[in-house]
C-alpha cells in the first residue's frame, strides 16, 4: 500500500515534528482536529520557564496537546506502541493496508536524507511498503513534505537507535457531545 498523494504540511509555529505531522495528516483525512485544539492554551509561566529560562526549542518542549480521549471524541482511536521494530512490523503493514499512515520515532542520524551529524530524535511518517522490503516515508523538508524510499534494514536501524515509539490511528464512533463538556 502506498499513499500516492503527498499531502500539504499544515504547520503551526508551536508544533513539534510529531504534532505537525499528525495535524497535517488529520487535515488531509478531513478529520475535524481543530475541535480538540483547546489544549493548545498553555500557561505563560510554563512557556517562559521551559523556553526562555531552560532554552528548550519547540522541538523539545513537553507539549501534550493531543490526548487519546479527545481523539476518540472526534472518531479516531490512537494506537501507541513501544517495542522493537520487527515486533511492530505487523502493525505497520496492517495500518498501511488500511490506508493509514504510521508515525515512527527514529534517530535521524541513520537516515541519509536528514544529513544529521549526531544522534537525535525525530518522527517521520511511513506511507508505503512494497514486496521488496522497501518503505516509503514522508518527512518534512523546509516548509513541505517530501517522500523518501528506504530498505527495511535502514529504517529498522534508525528506529532501533531512537526512542522506539510507533503511533497509528483507526476510525471509531465519534462522541461530539462529549467535547462540549471539556
Range of the domain at 92: 79-170
Q: Is the pLDDT of residue 67 over 70?
A: yes
Identify whether residues 111 and 42 lie together within a single domain. no
Angle between helices 85-97 and 152-160 (to 10 degrees): 120
Say how many CA atoms lie within 13 Å of 54 toward its Cβ. Answer: 13
Helix extents (H) in the chain: 17-28, 44-47, 68-73, 85-97, 152-160, 176-179
Number of domains in the chain: 2
Q: Is the pLDDT of residue 1 over 60?
A: no
pLDDT tens per residue, range 20-49: 999 999 999 999 999 988 877 777 787 788
- Domain assignment present for 91: yes
Identify whether residues 92 and 37 lie together within a single domain. no
pLDDT at 6: 78
In Å, how far from its chain's centre is CA 47?
22
Identify whether residues 142 and 154 lie together within a single domain. yes
pLDDT tens per residue, range 75-105: 999 999 999 999 999 999 999 999 999 999 9
Rounded to the nearest 5°, which phi and psi values hold at 144?
-140, 175
Amino acid at each position: 500500500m502506498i499513499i500516492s498523494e503527498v499531502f500539504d504540511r499544515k504547520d503551526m509555529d508551536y508544533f513539534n515534528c510529531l504534532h505537525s505531522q499528525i495535524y497535517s495528516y488529520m487535515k488531509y483525512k478531513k478529520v475535524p482536529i481543530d475541535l480538540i485544539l483547546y489544549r493548545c492554551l498553555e500557561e505563560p509561566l510554563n512557556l517562559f520557564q521551559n523556553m526562555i529560562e531552560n532554552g528548550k526549542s519547540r522541538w523539545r518542549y513537553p507539549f501534550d496537546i493531543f490526548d487519546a480521549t479527545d481523539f476518540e471524541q472526534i472518531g479516531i482511536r490512537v494506537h501507541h506502541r513501544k517495542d522493537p521494530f520487527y515486533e511492530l512490523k505487523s502493525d505497520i503493514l496492517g495500518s498501511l493496508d488500511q490506508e493509514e499512515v504510521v508515525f515512527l520515532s527514529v534517530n535521524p542520524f541513520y537516515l541519509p536524507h536528514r544529513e544529521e551529524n549526531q544522534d537525535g530524535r525525530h518522527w517521520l511518517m511511513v506511507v508505503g511498503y512494497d514486496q521488496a522490503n522497501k518503505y516509503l516515508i514522508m518527512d518534512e523538508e523546509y516548509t513541505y513534505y517530501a517522500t523518501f524510499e528506504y530498505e527495511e534494514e535502514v529504517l529498522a536501524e534508525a528506529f532501533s537507535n531512537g526512542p522506539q515509539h510507533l503511533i497509528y490511528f483507526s476510525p471509531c464512533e465519534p462522541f461530539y457531545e462529549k467535547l462540549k463538556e471539556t
